[in-house]
Amino acid sequence: MTLTRRRLLGSGAALAAAATVAQTIVGEAEPAMAACAIVPQASPLIVAMHRLSNGPSPSDVAAFNALGSTDDERYERWVEQQLNPSTIDDSACESRIASTQLKIRYDSVNEVRPLQLLYASDEQLWARANSGMDMAYAERMRPYDEVRVATWIRAVYSRRQLFEVLVDFWHNHFNVKASSDQNIAATWPFYDQIIRAHALGNFRTFTRAVGRSVAMMYYLDNVSNRAAGGEGGNENYARELFELHTLGSDHYLKFYNDRGQIETITVGGQVYPVGYIDDDIYEASRCLTGWTIANGRDGRPNTGAFYYKADWHDTYPKTVLAPRVMAGVAPAPNIPARQPDMKDGEDVFSLVCYHPGTARHVCTKLVRRLIADDPPQRVVDAAVEVWLANREAPDQLKQVIRTILLAPECRATFGAKMRRPLDVLWAYLRATGAELPSDVEQVGGDTSRGGYWASLFYTADQTGHRLFGWDTPTGHPDVASYWANTNGMLTRWNCIYNLTQSWGGNVQIDLIGQTNLGASCAAIVDAWTARLCGYALQPSVRSALIAFLAQGGDTNAPPQPLRGAPDWGAAEALHDRVRAMVHLLAMTPEYSLR
Amino acid sequence: MGCSAAIAAMAAGKVGQLIFADEAGAAGSDEILVVVFLRGGCDGLSLLSPFDDTVYRQARGSIALPLSGANAPLLIDPRNASYSTSSFGLNGKMPHLKELYDGGRLALVHACGLDDDTRSHFDAMDYIERGTPGNKATGSGWITRHLQTATLGAGLLPVVAAGTEAPASLLNYNGAVAMSNPRNFGLSTHWRYNRKEEDYKMMQVLEGFYPGTGRNLVDVAGRRTIDTIKAIRAANPGTYTPRAGVTYPGGSFGDALKTVAQVVKMEQGLHIATVDLGGWDTHESQANSDGSGYLPDRLGVLSQGLHALVNDLVDYLGRLTIVVMSEFGRRLGRNASNGTDHGHGNVMMVLGGNVNGGRVYGNWPGLQDLDQGQDLRITTDFRVVLGEIIYRRLANANLGAIFPGLTAAGFTPLGLVNGADPGPINWSAALRDVAPGQAGDLPNKLYLPLMTQC
Cross-strand bridge partners of residue A264: A273
Same domain as A586, residue A466: yes
Give the pLDDT of residue B238. Answer: 85
Question: Looking at residues B424-432, what average pLDDT do you find?
Answer: 83
Does any CB of chain B come closer than 8 Å to the CB of residue A573? yes
Q: How many domains does chain A have?
A: 2
Chain A residues within an 8 Å CB radius of B125: none
B198–A252 C-beta distance less than 8 A = no
Give the pLDDT of residue A412. Answer: 93
Give the pLDDT of residue B174. Answer: 73
In a domain, A403, yes or no: no
Whether residue B45 has pLDDT greater than 80: yes
Q: Distance between CA atoms of B230 and B420, rounded to whole angstroms?
A: 37
Q: Which residue, of A336, A354, A372, is where some domain finishes?
A: A354
Whether residue B424 has pLDDT greater than 50: yes
Distances (CA, A) of B171 to A480, B374, B434: 12, 33, 21
Give the pLDDT of residue A8. Answer: 31
Same domain as A425, residue A572: yes
B281–A566 C-beta distance less than 8 A = no
Report the share of chain A in percent with pLDDT over 90.
Answer: 86
Whether residue B379 has pLDDT greater than 60: yes
Same domain as A568, residue A431: yes
Chain A residues within an 8 Å CB radius of B194: 580
Q: How many domains does chain B have?
A: 1
Give the pLDDT of residue B23. Answer: 30
Give the pLDDT of residue A24. Answer: 29
Nearest Cα of chain B lies from the Cα of A481 at a distance, in angstroms, of 7
Whether residue B368 has pLDDT greater than 90: yes
Nearest Cα of chain B lies from the Cα of A265 at a distance, in angstroms, of 23
In the stretch 133-152 of chain B, residues with CB closer than 8 A to chain A read none
Distances (CA, A) of A431 to A303, A424, A463, A527, B221: 44, 11, 20, 12, 25
pLDDT band at A6; cut points 50, 70, 90: very low
Chain B residues within an 8 Å CB radius of A471: 39, 278
Does any CB of chain B come closer than 8 Å to the CB of residue A225? yes
A490–B229 C-beta distance less than 8 A = yes
Q: How many CB atoms lie within 10 A of CB B131?
A: 28
In a domain, A11, yes or no: no
Q: What is the pLDDT of residues B110-156, one digit of tens each?
A: 999 999 988 889 889 999 999 999 888 788 899 999 998 888 777 77
Whether residue A28 has pLDDT greater than 90: no
Q: What is the ipTM of this complex?
A: 0.90
Whether residue A120 has pLDDT greater than 80: yes
Peptide bond between residue A566 and the one before it cis (omega within 30 degrees of 0): yes
Give the pLDDT of residue B172. Answer: 77
Rounded to 5 degrees, what are φ and ψ at A410? -65, -50
Among residues A250, A249, A191, A234, which one has the least CA distance to residue A215? A191
Q: Distance between CA atoms of A339 and A317, rounded to whole angstroms?
A: 9
Distances (CA, A) of A434 to A88, A157, A347, A422, A437: 22, 10, 49, 15, 9
pLDDT band at A256; cut points 50, 70, 90: low
Report the share of chain B in percent with pLDDT over 90.
Answer: 70
In the stretch 433-462 of chain A, residues with CB closer than 8 A to chain B read 462
- Strand boundaries in A177-321, DSSP class E: 264-267, 270-273, 291-295, 302-308
Nearest Cα of chain A lies from the Cα of B357 at a distance, in angstroms, of 34
Among residues A376, A377, A375, A369, which one has the least CA distance to residue A419? A369
Give the pLDDT of residue A250. Answer: 92
- Strand boundaries in B256-403, DSSP class E: 272-277, 320-326, 346-352, 359-361, 380-381
Same domain as A448, residue A306: no
DSSP-assigned states of every residue in A531-584: HHTSSPPPHHHHHHHHHHHHTTS-TTS-----SSTTTTT-HHHHHHHHHHHHHH
For B188, the closest chain A residue by CA position comes to A494
Based on DSSP, count helices (H) and strands (E) in chain B, helices before strands: 12, 12
Same domain as A561, residue A452: yes
Does any CB of chain B come closer than 8 Å to the CB of residue A570? no
Q: Which residue, of A339, A354, A369, is where some domain finishes?
A: A354
Q: How many CB atoms lie within 10 A of CB B262?
A: 22
A566–B166 C-beta distance less than 8 A = no
SS3 (DSSP) at A135: coil
Q: How many CB atoms lie within 10 A of CB A113?
A: 13
Does any CB of chain A come closer than 8 Å to the CB of residue B166? yes
In a domain, A393, yes or no: no
Vertex A475 angle, CA B171 and B260, to 5°: 45
The dihedral built from the CA positions of residue A497, A525, A412 and B208, taken in this order, carries a sign that is positive
Q: Distance between CA atoms of B181 and B161, rounded to whole angstroms?
A: 11
What is the 8-class DSSP label of residue A107?
T
For A35, the closest chain B residue by CA position comes to B454
Give the pLDDT of residue B29. Answer: 72
Cross-strand bridge partners of residue B159: B272
**What is the overall mean pLDDT for chain B?**
87
A566–B198 C-beta distance less than 8 A = yes
Cross-strand bridge partners of residue B359: B107
DSSP-assigned states of every residue in A62-93: HHHHTT-SSHHHHHHHHHHHHTSGGGS--HHH
pLDDT band at A104; cut points 50, 70, 90: very high
Same domain as A427, residue A327: no
In a domain, A506, yes or no: yes
Q: Which residue, of A354, A388, A413, is where some domain finishes?
A: A354
Does any CB of chain B come closer than 8 Å to the CB of residue A38? yes
Question: Looking at residues B258-270, what average pLDDT do you find?
Answer: 93
Q: What is the pLDDT of residues B156-192, one digit of tens each?
A: 789 999 988 889 999 878 778 888 888 889 999 999 9
Q: Dmax over Cα atoms in chain B, in whole Å?
A: 73
Q: How many CB atoms lie within 10 A of CB A526?
A: 17
pLDDT band at B8; cut points 50, 70, 90: very low
Does any CB of chain A come closer than 8 Å to the CB of residue B452? yes
Domain that holds residue A578: 421-592
Same domain as A323, residue A429: no
What do you get for the CA distance between the two ends of chain A, in Å? 36
Whether residue B63 has pLDDT greater than 70: yes
Pick the range with the lowest mean pLDDT from A330-339, B19-28, B236-245, B343-352: B19-28
B217–A418 C-beta distance less than 8 A = yes
In a domain, A533, yes or no: yes
Same domain as A458, residue A316: no
Give the pLDDT of residue B444. Answer: 41
B167, A464 Cβ separation under 8 angstroms: no
Q: What is the pLDDT of residues A177-234, one digit of tens each?
A: 999 899 999 999 999 999 999 999 999 999 999 999 999 999 999 999 999 754 567 8
In the stretch 482-501 of chain A, residues with CB closer than 8 A to chain B read 482, 484-491, 493-494, 497-498
In a domain, A260, yes or no: yes
Chain B residues within an 8 Å CB radius of A313: none
In a domain, A273, yes or no: yes
B454–A234 C-beta distance less than 8 A = no
Residue type, position A251, single letter: H
Q: How big is the A-B interface in CB pairs under 8 Å?
A: 214
B337–A589 C-beta distance less than 8 A = no
- Picking from A7, A11, A33, A36 by the largest number of B CB atoms within 10 A of its own CB, the best residue to mutate is A36
Domain that holds residue B135: 3-453
Give the pLDDT of residue A229. Answer: 57
Q: Distance between CA atoms of B316 and A288, rounded to whole angstroms?
A: 53
Chain B residues within an 8 Å CB radius of A485: 161, 165-166, 176, 178, 221
**What is the overall mean pLDDT for chain A?**
91
Does any CB of chain A come closer than 8 Å to the CB of residue B195? yes
Q: What is the pLDDT of residues A358-404, one digit of tens each?
A: 999 999 999 999 999 999 999 999 999 999 999 999 999 999 999 99
B97, B341 Cβ separation under 8 angstroms: no
Does any CB of chain A come closer than 8 Å to the CB of residue B222? yes
Same domain as A440, residue A334: no
pLDDT band at A475; cut points 50, 70, 90: very high
Does any CB of chain B come closer than 8 Å to the CB of residue A587? yes
Report the share of chain A in percent with pLDDT over 70.
Answer: 92
Give the pLDDT of residue B214. Answer: 64
A239–B452 C-beta distance less than 8 A = no
In a domain, A203, yes or no: no
What is the 8-class DSSP label of residue B437?
T
